[in-house]
Structure 1
């Protein structure tokens, strides 16, 4: 199965983000190793206890861009279990070397 990365930049309450999470879950349920990378407003889904927190346990990994966490005032906040902060370099490595396909939802 192809390894897939899904980059989500939309607010977790947006229809686009909800569709992206549903797509990621469907791909994971079909056996694809899925990494969800949260950027821009999407990082708000990484904050533990948030009413819009991402169900990170369904995916191979979940990343949240450190710079965007800081810009939104949630740097250092506990993240949902299974999620880790990442750098721009981590995202480049993910897309160029760790997955077969990357999808973006913004």
Structure 2
């Protein structure tokens, strides 16, 4: 990981679950700890991370000041729309993601 300046803005998109996703969340928490504004969008297989109790790294990321959104379309498509989400996780759609992708100065990582 490179040295980043405090105040950097990141948009991280997680589409996986499991061990590699947990390592990605650890890196996301480190960015937030360093003072960056870090948004995480969970989509595809990554929505599993947003279900309460499914991820050890997600509460740590939220505690570091990260913000988490979960794709409402994927939740509905996988019949998870009524599943309990980790506290602090909000639902959103691809329209919001597209807006965030186009914000000037945002560094994007799609995993």
State if a TM-score over 0.5 links the two structures: yes
**52 and 21 in structure 1: CA distance in 2 versus 1, 3 angstrom threshold:** same
Secondary structure (helix, strand or coil) at the match of 2:103 reads helix
**Alignment: residue pair count:** 102
Q: Note the 1:1-106 alignment, pairs <5 A.
A: 1-11=7-17, 13=18, 15-48=19-52, 50-52=53-55, 54-55=58-59, 56-97=62-103, 100-105=106-111
Q: Once superposed, what is the RMSD of the aligned Cα atoms? A: 1.7
Q: Which runs of 4+ in 1 moved over 3 A?
A: none
- Report the Cα offset of residue 75 of structure 1: 0.6
- TM normalised by structure 1 equals 0.85
- Report the Cα offset of residue 58 of structure 1: 2.8
Structure 2 unaligned spans of 5+: 1-6
Question: Highest CA radius of gyration, 1 or 2?
Answer: 2
- TM normalised by structure 2 equals 0.81
**73 and 99 in structure 1: CA distance in 2 versus 1, 3 angstrom threshold:** farther
**99 and 77 in structure 1: CA distance in 2 versus 1, 3 angstrom threshold:** farther
- Report the Cα offset of residue 99 of structure 1: 5.9
Q: Is the 8 A contact 2:71 2:92 kept in 1?
A: yes
